Structure 1
Amino acid sequence: MNFILFCLYTSLYFHCNKGTVYLPKNVSVSAIIAFGDSLLDVGNNNYIKTMTKSNFLPYGKDFVGGKPTGRFSNGKTLADFFAKALGVKEYVPAYLNPFITDKDLLTGVSFASGGTGYDPLTATLSSVIPVKIQLEMFKQYIWRVKRKVGEEAMKNIINNSVFFVSSSSNDFLVTYYSVPIRRLQYDIPAYSNKLVKWAISLVQDLHKLGARKIVVFSAPPLGCIPIERTLAGGSERKCVDEYNKAARFFNKKLKENLQFLESTLPQSKIAFSDFYNPLISIIENPRQYGFEVANQGCCGTGKFEMSYLCNELSTTCQNDSTFFFWDSLHPTEKGCDIYSKIILPDLVKSLF
């Protein structure tokens, strides 16, 4: 499906030019609140001691003023596209940003930290913010909002917010496949089940704190991420079947458990957001989505550079809008835009 047809297909829900989802009548979203990894990190890692950073050029070169913000992209990330599409605001701020305003707090923030995962060991290996600590930060956020607007208004904000959770990629790619500890303890089915339990626990905790609309992303096609094609895809850099198989197994279990959980939680909408199949479609048919390259990133060779290896000395592709991946792991701004257009219509149906 080419992009023009795609826009027409989704026109009942989405203005392709304006980037706004049609929500049901009398429905509005108070805030966007994000947890997880670099897919939704908008700069929290800037304020912690870690090597997993992106607050330097060429990251952010297409952001407002060409400013690197700590987003793992050349521009906006999924959190920003969701915020705008749901009518909340243009950009989601990092919770740890010391210059965050009252308005920022009331309309949502991101607690996400690039490099983290559901597995606590994942955050330890990368020296980033564990999901459990992100949850504690959210409790602090609730207290700050309550102090500004009162308890009743605070509850309304939380109840009418949309929560996004992205994790699991680093659990597999870093903690399971790169370090032997978890492989000695679990096979893929057992480790996937462990990750699912952690994910379900997080959603339950969010619900206890007032969250009622929660979106949980699946794992992407791990074996087709550029750096994994380079490291494990052989001389031809093919997608790594073993990694993709692990992602599919995890996704199946996650979806089943989220569906069951939704049936047990009162007044809740929990959406499983497929990050696997849309990306496979884009990677296998890039031109149908307006891309020319989907097997390597725009930064450097695009085969292994990310974070500090993608820096001011790196050459970048001439036109990043033709690339789905920005570095060897993360989508470009356009990649995030296209993916958000694909999934948002179904998310709106699931949540409202």
Structure 2
Amino acid sequence: MKYLSPSLFCSKISPPCLSTFIIFMIIILATPAPALKLPTNVTVPAIIVFGDSIVDSGNNNCIKTLVKSNFPPYGRDFMGGLPTGRFSNGRILTDFLVEEFSIKQYMPPYLDPNLGPDDLLTGVSFASGGSGYDPLTSKITLVISLSQQLEHFKDYTRKLKQLVGEEKSQFILNNSVFMVLTGNNDLFGYFDIPLRRLQYDIQSYTDFLVNLASSFVQDLHDLGARRISVFSVMPVGCVPLQRTIAGGIRRECAESTNHAAELLNSKLSAEVDSLTSKLPDSRVAYIDWYTPAIDVIQNPKKYGFEQVKRGCCGTGLIEFAILCNKLVPVCRNNSEYLFWDSAHFTERGYQTLLSLIIDKFVSRLFGSQ
């Protein structure tokens, strides 16, 4: 796909024009062999993503919400300074992932009106910053809920069939890697906006989230997904914003928030492990990125970081989305910072974290069962 000026991105939302494209110029089996070591005869034609702002590459540009990042200083290091709606200074986790699989260089957002057929054939992101497993989370932030993301995916599958027919579209879906990364905003909301706390204690709320996650994975399976990765939530208590809100005068990691994340992750891991046996001809993998993230936060110099308590944007204490804008200063050397704003990682942060999980990611999805 071609990235346009942020002033043009999603100024009008229209479906991609598919009819004029010569379909068989893009045959999925012609994609380059992946640099990763995959089992013999394994093909990964696409990576398809659902989730929150960690993996939203620009879908929120196209909806009416304050949870946006398609303005400076976001994108400062992306293609010469282009803010695309990624919540970072540059590339995000999914950009590095598709590059690792030698599929393409960037993960496009599904709602980008400039999507081409090649983008559809090699995967898109349906993720929306501010969303979660809990539908209330998306209602509060006015973003695309997980159920709406699933509806967009259904629309995507129809376009695939128009492009390459039933048989090849089914091959793409069955052999692609599906990635689900969300739940972080649910925990933010539970502790910072006490609506759910009036209904649930943390044990019952995490049960509620796991049930929603399990249903979503089963819905994906019903729609053709066979390789599904479900990511843990991150150490939400250690992001700069939570340190500011709940970390005390010294801005330590918020222990109650991290304990909730650990509780959710333990339940999510058990449920995901059980789904592979329940869902025929599938591999459902739990991907722990909480543990490596905590290690980076607790041992920053080991990974070349100097600052892990503040974001690079503004004071680094509270700024994210519209509060991180061209009127606030940014740090000079963002490669020394783990966090770009008060809730999201820098490009180097994402790259470092992916390098710490990629081997397990591959082995869990493609290794022997």
TM-score computed with the length of structure 2 as normaliser: 0.89
| Structure 1 residue ranges (4+ consecutive) displaced by more than 6 angstroms after TM superposition | none
2:66 to 29, 33, 51: 51
What is the CA distance between 1:65 and its match in structure 2?
A: 2.5
Which one is further off, 289-298 or 144-153?
289-298
Partner of 2:328: helix, strand, or coil?
A: coil
What is the CA distance between 1:265 and its match in structure 2?
A: 1.0
Partner of 1:271: 285
Partner of 2:320: 306
Partner of 1:150: helix, strand, or coil?
A: helix
- In 2: Cα distance, 1:166 partner to 1:350 partner: 16
Partner of 1:7: none
2:303 to 250, 270, 289: 289
Q: Deviations over 1:92-151 (max 9, x none)?
A: 111000110000000000000000000000000000000000001000000001011000
In the alignment, structure 1 residue 162 sits paired with structure 2 residue 180: no
What is the CA distance between 1:310 and its match in structure 2?
A: 0.6
Partner of 1:184: 198
Partner of 1:324: helix, strand, or coil?
A: strand
Partner of 2:256: 242
Partner of 2:252: helix, strand, or coil?
A: coil
1:151 to 143, 149, 166: 166
Instruction: Please tell me the residue identity of whatever aligns with 1:137.
Output: H
In the alignment, structure 1 residue 261 sits paired with structure 2 residue 275: yes
Instruction: Please tell me the residue identity of whatever aligns with 1:327.
Output: D
Which one is further off, 20-29 or 136-145?
20-29
Q: Deviations over 1:189-231 (max 9, x none)?
A: 1000000000000000001111111111111111111100001
- In 1: Cα distance, 2:308 partner to 2:193 partner: 27
What is the CA distance between 1:172 and its match in structure 2?
A: 1.0
Instruction: Please tell me the residue identity of whatever aligns with 1:134.
Output: Q
- In 2: Cα distance, 1:20 partner to 1:73 partner: 25
Partner of 1:311: helix, strand, or coil?
A: coil
- In 1: Cα distance, 2:131 partner to 2:175 partner: 27
What is the CA distance between 1:25 and its match in structure 2?
A: 2.9
Instruction: Please tell me the residue identity of whatever aligns with 2:98.
Output: A
- In 2: Cα distance, 1:150 partner to 1:338 partner: 39
Which one is further off, 23-32 or 45-54?
23-32
Partner of 1:210: 224
Partner of 2:301: helix, strand, or coil?
A: helix
1:72 to 67, 76, 87: 87
- In 2: Cα distance, 1:238 partner to 1:65 partner: 35
- In 1: Cα distance, 2:280 partner to 2:357 partner: 25
- In 1: Cα distance, 2:184 partner to 2:365 partner: 24
Q: Deviations over 1:150-186 (max 9, x none)?
A: 0000000111110111111111102x11222210110
- In 2: Cα distance, 1:22 partner to 1:73 partner: 29
Maintained 8 Å contact 1:291/1:322: yes
How many residues were matched structurally? Answer: 333
TM-score computed with the length of structure 1 as normaliser: 0.93
- In 1: Cα distance, 2:48 partner to 2:80 partner: 25
- In 1: Cα distance, 2:260 partner to 2:87 partner: 24
Partner of 1:139: helix, strand, or coil?
A: helix
What is the CA distance between 1:28 and its match in structure 2?
A: 2.5
- In 2: Cα distance, 1:127 partner to 1:51 partner: 8
What is the CA distance between 1:327 and its match in structure 2?
A: 0.3
- In 2: Cα distance, 1:157 partner to 1:128 partner: 28
In the alignment, structure 1 residue 229 sits paired with structure 2 residue 243: yes
Instruction: Please tell me the residue identity of whatever aligns with 1:300.
Output: G
Instruction: Please tell me the residue identity of whatever aligns with 1:32.
Output: I
- In 1: Cα distance, 2:222 partner to 2:245 partner: 41
In the alignment, structure 1 residue 337 sits paired with structure 2 residue 363: no
Maintained 8 Å contact 1:23/1:86: no
- In 2: Cα distance, 1:229 partner to 1:21 partner: 37
Partner of 1:216: helix, strand, or coil?
A: strand
- In 1: Cα distance, 2:216 partner to 2:159 partner: 21
Identity, % of aligned pairs?
A: 53
